[in-house]
Amino acid sequence: MTIQTRNIHDGAVTSAKLKDDSITNASIGTDAVGAAEIVDGAVDGEHLALTLQTGYIPLDISLVRIISTNDYISTIEGGVPDGNTAPSYQRVNGATDKAARLIWAASSSVEVSFPCFVLPPDIDSSQPLYVKLRANMASGGMDTPTVAVSYFEGVGDTNAGSATAALSTTVATVSVTVTAANVGSAGAPVTIGLTPGAHTNEALNVYAAWVEYTRA
């Protein structure tokens, strides 16, 4: 059972409800919670604030649509990436590594767009949010492109996104900051897109994407 702050109100837990010795070694187990379970400083105000105040919105890479100018590209796949499209959607290795990824072949910088979502009701719109990717280059280290992350709210907005840091052959998390001035209130619809920079020698891979925001 998880006990959270929203479950405990002022005066909800009193001496009448928690009688002397109602929680004992017999009910918890001697040394069930000790130094091995809780490292010094592991639970403090700073850690709790970071954990409880950070919200996550997953962006499913399997649901992106391939863009051609203003259109969702017209293919037999309906613009949904698979093994025949550019970018493609494939496993790393079906036999030994079943991680999925979007793959832009060398010299391909086609834009993709995630499905629209709305900002959640617990967002603190006075704080920035972050669009994050797990990505890398296929091999060799000859190309170190960035990925342009577009961020639009509603209709008629201007792009509040930017480019990530340069990618390398190591799978790493890269991030784009959307400033607080460009974060709307709860319910605002958001569209996020990805466009790789130039990479003429190697394929570019994206394994996961998500948004982090501050809860009110």
- Output the pLDDT for position 198: 98
Q: Report the chain's mean pLDDT, rounded to a whole number.
A: 86
More confident residue, 14 or 111: 111
What pLDDT does 72 receive? 79
Task: Tell me what the mean pLDDT of segment 106-127 comes to.
Answer: 97
Query: Is 45 part of a structural domain of the chain?
Result: no
Q: Position of tokens 């767009």?
A: 113
**Residue ranges making up the domain that contains 166:** 55-214
The pair of three-digit structure tokens given for residue 190, joined into one six-digit string: 């958001």
Amino acid 184: pLDDT: 97
Residue 102 lies in a domain: yes
Query: Would you state the pLDDT for residue 52?
Result: 80
* Rounded Cα gap, residues 105 and 132, in angstroms: 21
Model confidence at 38: pLDDT above 90:
no
Counting residues of the chain whose pLDDT is more than 90, the rounded percentage is 69
The answer to whether residue 9 scores a pLDDT higher than 90 is no
pLDDT grade for 129, boundaries at 50, 70 and 90: very high
Q: Is the pLDDT of residue 46 over 90?
A: no
Rg (CA), the chain: 23
In a domain, residue 161? The reply is yes
Which residue spans within the chain are E strands per DSSP? 54-59, 65-68, 71-72, 88-93, 97-104, 112-113, 117-118, 129-137, 147-153, 162-163, 172-178, 189-196, 204-214
CATH code (residue 142): 2.60.120.260
- Cα 40 from Cα 45, distance rounded (Å): 13
Total domain count, the chain: 1
Give the C-alpha distances (Å, rounded to integers) separating 116 from 69, 161, 196: 18, 15, 20
Residue 92 lies in a domain: yes
Is pLDDT of 206 > 80? yes
**Coil, strand, or helix at residue 48?**
helix
Mean pLDDT, range 32-49, rounded to an integer: 60
> Once rounded to an integer, what is the mean pLDDT over residues 85-110?
96
Look up residue 130 and give its two tokens. 């972050």
